[in-house]
Amino acid sequence: MRIITLFFLFSFILSWGQSITDTVQMMHYNLLMYRNISSYCTASNNNPANKDNYMNTIVSYLLPDIITVNEMVGDGGTGANRLLTNALNQNGRNYYKQSNYSANSSLCNMLYYNANKFALYTQDKIDRGLNNTMLVRQIDVYTLYYLDNSQLEMGDTNFLTVYVAHLKAGNTNSDVSDRAKATAAVMDYHDTHYSEKHSYVFAGDFNMYTSNEQGFIHLVGDPNSSIRFKDPVKQSGSWNNNGSFASIHTQSTRVSGSCHSGGGLDDRFDFILCGQEILSNERGYGYVNGSYKALGNDGQHFNSDINSGINNAVPASVLSALYGMSDHLPVAMQIKVNRTTASTLRGIHSNHLMINNPIGSFLRWKMQLPMEGFLDIVDLHGQQVIHEKIIASESWNSINVSMLTPGIYMAIVSSNNKQVVRRKIVKL
């Protein structure tokens, strides 16, 4: 049993709200058949070891805190772990973690995150359309929460739900219909599970040629206006082979290729869309204006190789890695994380609480000095699940918590109508 010592201040406490801001970087990337060997994407023209080195270079440059990907090999999770080990947690980095493997095709999605800043709260998937038929590829749903290790934290945990999709490629009527079915299923799920305690982003390779496509209209024009997604750069139109959108095109990195698609940069297939709450910075996460970009796109390589002529959008080594890694460019943006802490003026005396963490069926605790107050256990949706009056002494006390489901909770102790301490605890 691990014992944590918490400090209770009861002589006099003066608290006031203070806003602290962090900035996190998010990146979405279609990895192009990562470790998925086929007749046209071979170990020679799409070498896994080379791709690990390319990805390491890209991540070392951008240092994203959230990485979502498409076209990860559907092999039970071995490939996803190899990218984590061989590319992300390299060059002194050891803080990236991955979500759980989940797939219904030979190519799957994955989410990686900086475990110094985020933890994975829940994970789900959308694999059926509104008519209950299987989608071409499932859409994955990840909910993260921001880790605030401040001992004086008073604000609520900030949840960020991330949808990741790789929609059907192609420009036939059937392809367009498949994409529309997938986004209709997403918005139905989004409407059902929507929470005002969460912020939302939708990242993926949408394979769409125009914002007039029904699949895109589902995302940005849902009848429920509060759940609609927004394009942070507000670039609607016919993106395909249109030089007006040259600065946001994401495919292809090259004019010709075998495994890699050709044609040069002339399509906007890859997106990160935001909920209005992020654009308005309403729930702790806020889009950093001007931060959205197609990494490596300088706006001057329409229908060209990204490494032809002069391209100073990124360092030469990164440009070379982007060219070799995939026929897509990653899209990235920055998000502000605002959280409220309490500044506390300490009095002369302090009290010490010893508490077991993680907890099993019982929460056990004792204090150095007597104290009366209340202990509340609150889940990460803000719902109070236990409210106990406590009369603390030097002897061990216990509260039955066997009714709680495993997960992360907040333990909040108050005295004289003042919140004294707030801590995360883990129920096994």
Q: What is the pLDDT of residue 342?
A: 38
Q: Considering only CA atoms, which of 362, 256, 280, 333 is closest in space to residue 65?
A: 333
More confident residue, 13 or 64: 64
Percent of the chain past pLDDT 70, that is, above it, reads 84
More confident residue, 364 or 229: 229
Q: Which of 88, 75, 85 is nearest to 29 (CA)?
A: 88
Residues of the chain with CATH 3.60.10.10: 18-339
Summarize the confidence of residues 283-290 as an average pLDDT.
95
227 backbone dihedrals φ, ψ, rounded to 5°: -105, 0
pLDDT digit string, tens, across residues 98-114:
999 998 888 999 999 99
* Local confidence band at 186 (pLDDT 50, 70, 90 cut-offs): very high
Q: Which pLDDT score is estimated for 197? A: 87
pLDDT at residue 368, as a whole number? 57
CB neighbourhood size of 144 (10 A): 25
List beta partners, residue 7. Answer: 352
pLDDT over threshold 90, residue 58: yes
Could you tell me the two tokens for 204?
């993926």
Dump the DSSP string for 282-340: -SSEEE-TT--EETT--S--BTS-TTSS---SS-HHHHHHHHHH-SB--EEEEEEEEEE
Given a cut of 70, whether residue 14 has pLDDT beyond it is no
Comparing 197-206, 333-342, 361-370, the range with the smallest average pLDDT is 361-370
pLDDT mean over 164-186: 98
What residue has token string 């009527």?
173
CA distance 84 to 80: 6
The residues, ordered by sequence, that sit 6+ positions from 347 with a Cβ below 8 Å of its Cβ are 9, 10, 11, 12, 13
Higher pLDDT, 13 or 355: 355
Q: pLDDT tens digits for 108-165? A: 999 999 999 998 989 999 999 999 999 999 999 999 988 864 432 334 567 899 999 9
Question: Given this model, what pLDDT does residue 144 score?
Answer: 94
Report the SS3 class of residue 189. Answer: helix
Token pair belonging to 346? 């300490």
- pLDDT classification of 325: cutoffs 50, 70, 90: very high
pLDDT of residue 18: 47
The average pLDDT across 369-391 equals 78
User: Cα separation of 270 and 286, whole Å?
Assistant: 21
Of residues 312 and 401, more confidence is placed in 312
**Which tens digits make up the pLDDT trace of 403-420?**
898 888 887 777 665 556
Mean model confidence pLDDT for the chain: 87
pLDDT for res 407: 85
289 or 354, greater pLDDT: 289
Burial annotation 231-268 (CB, 10 A radius, 16+ → b, else e): bbbeeeeebeebeebbbbbbbbbbeebebbbebbbbbb
- Alpha helices in 129-213, H assignment, sequence order: 173-193
With H, G, I as helix, E, B as strand and everything else as coil, classify residue 202.
Answer: strand
Tell me how crowded residue 324 is: count the other CB atoms within 10 A of its CB: 19
Which tokens belong to 177?
């219909």
Give the per-residue pLDDT at 354: 65
- Tell me if residue 151 falls in helix, strand or coil: coil
pLDDT given for residue 198 in this prediction: 93
**CATH level 2 (architecture), domain 18-339:** 4-Layer Sandwich (3.60)
pLDDT band at residue 253 using 50, 70 and 90 as cut-offs: very high
Token readout for 120 is 């994975």
CATH 2.60.40.2550 boundaries in the chain = 350-427
Using the predicted structure, report yes or no on whether residue 426 has a pLDDT greater than 50. Answer: yes
CATH of domain 350-427: 2.60.40.2550
Residue 217 has pLDDT above 90, yes or no: yes
CA–CA distances in Å: residue 239 to residues 212, 245, 337: 10, 6, 31
Token output for 247: 């600065």
Lowest-confidence pick of 193-207, 235-249, 312-326, 336-350 = 336-350
Q: Are 378 and 410 in contact (CB under 8 A)?
A: yes
Compute the residue count for the chain: 428
Q: What tokens does 117 get?
A: 């800043």
User: Averaged over 17-21, what is the pLDDT?
Assistant: 57
Report phi then psi at 371, rounded to 5: -160, 140
User: What does each C-alpha distance from 337 to 83, 201, 217, 344 come to in angstroms?
Assistant: 27, 14, 29, 22
Q: Are 152 and 342 in contact (CB under 8 A)?
A: yes
Tell me the whole-structure pTM to 2 decimals: 0.78
Q: Which residue has the higher pLDDT, 418 or 177?
A: 177
* Percent of all residues in the chain with a pLDDT value above 90, rounded to a whole number: 67
